[in-house]
Structure 1
Amino acid sequence: MEFLGVLAISTIAAFVLRRPIKAAPWAFYGLAVLLVTALFAGGAGLLGTAWKPLILLLQRCMLPLALFTVVMYIGVFPKDSRVGRWLRPIRAELSIIACILALGHMCLYISPYLSRALAGAMEAPMAASFAISIVLFALLLVLGVTSFDAVKRHMPASLWKNVQRFAYLFFGLIYAHLLFMIAPAALHGGKQAALSVVIYSMVFVGYAVARVARWQIDAAREGAAHAESPVGDFEDDAPAMA
């Protein structure tokens, strides 16, 4: 399946480019904007066939979904693990890049789907998926903006953490959105759609299980630390998005 290939390449790229991303994040934000611009230009017939790879990566949302998956699973690893040490410092930057790319995908589809919704030409699963996408759009804006350091510095720490915890809802709604989009085809015997349901379920359900396990392990460690010291020396785990 294409998603697994894009996910593998995105994961490798995150490791390889972690230092450049941290040193010059705005260069990567600019690249994301350029890719979105190319997507719209290609859709308008301005780039010939050169934009075809963007259909898979952006129009079908494979690349932003892969980056969000990387961001999700970073939180599963201990902070002192190699993955934690290498990728946690760029978690916010990866989130922002994914948000920019996902906004391109959303803006491409929101107008035609809104027209169909207003005309009452949507079947129930697609209507549910569209309703979820509206909520995702709002959450994406909030989480993306608050992932910027300049915004984070002007927010109380407790408020920022509470806002960023909406990332868990965001990830859950992505899974629901995907299921509403592809489950009908899978139920009608579509093998590729059925395989997609299995793969996405493994990714998101696997994340939920691993994240709860990480929370339990960290809570046990923090409890042990408090038992040894009334003050304790463990900070709260970083929220899911940044």
Structure 2
Amino acid sequence: MAVVLAILMAIANKPVRKYRVVLYVIVVIIEAYFVFSKYFEYDLITDNRQITSMLTMGILSEALFAVVAYMGCLPSNHWITKRFKSVRAELSVMGCIMGFAQMIYYANSFVQFFNGELSTGRTIACIATLVLLCLMIPLMLTSFYCVRANMKQSSWKKLQKTSYIFYFMLWVHILGLYGNFNGGLTDIFSGKHGETLECYTVIWGVYFILRFCKFLYDRHKGVKSDDGIIQDDDDLVPARGD
């Protein structure tokens, strides 16, 4: 679904960028509707568990971040790359909004964490979430052009490089949720959700490999970004919003 959403937004990139604030408001309303049903106990318009899980458990959020990340592995000067990168900021902000919604939905986990009531896996996931929160706030804010325009280019680029840590912590978060910590290291992928963990590990593992290969290739070829402001690592998340 995240891939389909990215494709549709890339196709309609001009109206998406023009009305991005409206898009953000819609996402906030949808997330608030599903998330706060947990606390105010009202009936949702759908009982479909896949939809509610996707919007409250961070599934769609992580998928959007993965799509944005893989955009950075595409050939820098290809027209398809330019088309997709034109909506990276919007996709990133949407992912951040959904990420914040997930944290609100599972706010009770933070209380249990500070009380020492969580299992090893949940403790790892909670620590990863706190790190993600610290990274996501500045990354999201600097996705807005009004903020980016008032920053030095070197400062902005330096901050954006923390996106790699952000991606890694997304995987650590999944590891904490789905890993089996009742045995040794070899048993981590043998839990009930082992296949899900393997899937996410492949997704992020392949990304880091491809991104490193692209870095070496671009460095060898002397390829520079086609962006008017950012001269190289323009593929970091969240991307610049014009």
Assess same fold via TM > 0.5.
yes
- Map Cα deviations across residues 17-36 of structure 1 (whole Å, 9 max, x no partner): 43322221111111111112
Which segments of structure 1 move beyond 4 Å, counting only runs of 4 or more? 51-54, 185-191
Asked if 2 retains the 8 angstrom alpha-carbon contact of 1:165 and 1:239, the reply is no
Structure 1 gap ranges (5+): 1-5, 226-233
1:22 maps to which of 17, 40, 44: 17
Let me know the Cα RMSD of the aligned residues: 2.3
For 1:129, the equivalent position in structure 2 comes to 125
Amino acid at match of 2:179: A
- Map Cα deviations across residues 11-67 of structure 1 (whole Å, 9 max, x no partner): 433334433222211111111111121123432222434374542222121111111
For 1:70, the equivalent position in structure 2 comes to 67
For 1:162, the equivalent position in structure 2 comes to 158
3-state SS in 1 of match to 2:34: helix
For 2:32, the equivalent position in structure 1 comes to 37
Does residue 113 of the first structure (1) align with residue 99 of the second (2)?
no
Amino acid at match of 1:169: I
For 2:200, the equivalent position in structure 1 comes to 200
Identify if the C-alpha distance between structure 1 residues 83 and 188 changes in structure 2 by more than 3 Å, giving closer, same or farther: closer
| Cα offset, 1:89, TM superposition | 1.4
Does residue 93 of the first structure (1) align with residue 90 of the second (2)?
yes
Q: Which structure dedicates a bigger proportion of its chain to helix? A: 1
- Map Cα deviations across residues 152-210 of structure 1 (whole Å, 9 max, x no partner): 0000010011111111100010011101110118748545x121122111110000000
In structure 1, distance between residues paired with 2:51 and 2:152: 39
In structure 2, distance between residues paired with 1:239 and 1:158: 15
In structure 2, distance between residues paired with 1:135 and 1:237: 22
In structure 2, distance between residues paired with 1:90 and 1:124: 38
Does residue 181 of the first structure (1) align with residue 174 of the second (2)?
no
2:58 maps to which of 36, 56, 61: 61
Identify if the C-alpha distance between structure 1 residues 156 and 8 changes in structure 2 by more than 3 Å, giving closer, same or farther: closer
For 2:227, the equivalent position in structure 1 comes to none
| Cα offset, 1:118, TM superposition | 2.7
Amino acid at match of 1:177: H
Does residue 147 of the first structure (1) align with residue 120 of the second (2)?
no
Identify if the C-alpha distance between structure 1 residues 82 and 67 changes in structure 2 by more than 3 Å, giving closer, same or farther: same
Asked if 2 retains the 8 angstrom alpha-carbon contact of 1:164 and 1:239, the reply is no
Q: What is the number of residues matched between the two proteins? A: 226
In structure 1, distance between residues paired with 2:109 and 2:36: 20
Amino acid at match of 1:151: V
Using structure 2 for the length normalisation, give the TM-score.
Answer: 0.85
Q: Calculate percent identity across the aligned residue pairs.
A: 22
In structure 2, distance between residues paired with 1:189 and 1:239: 34
Using structure 1 for the length normalisation, give the TM-score.
Answer: 0.85
3-state SS in 1 of match to 2:222: helix
Asked if 1 retains the 8 angstrom alpha-carbon contact of 2:71 and 2:235, the reply is no
Identify if the C-alpha distance between structure 1 residues 159 and 239 changes in structure 2 by more than 3 Å, giving closer, same or farther: farther
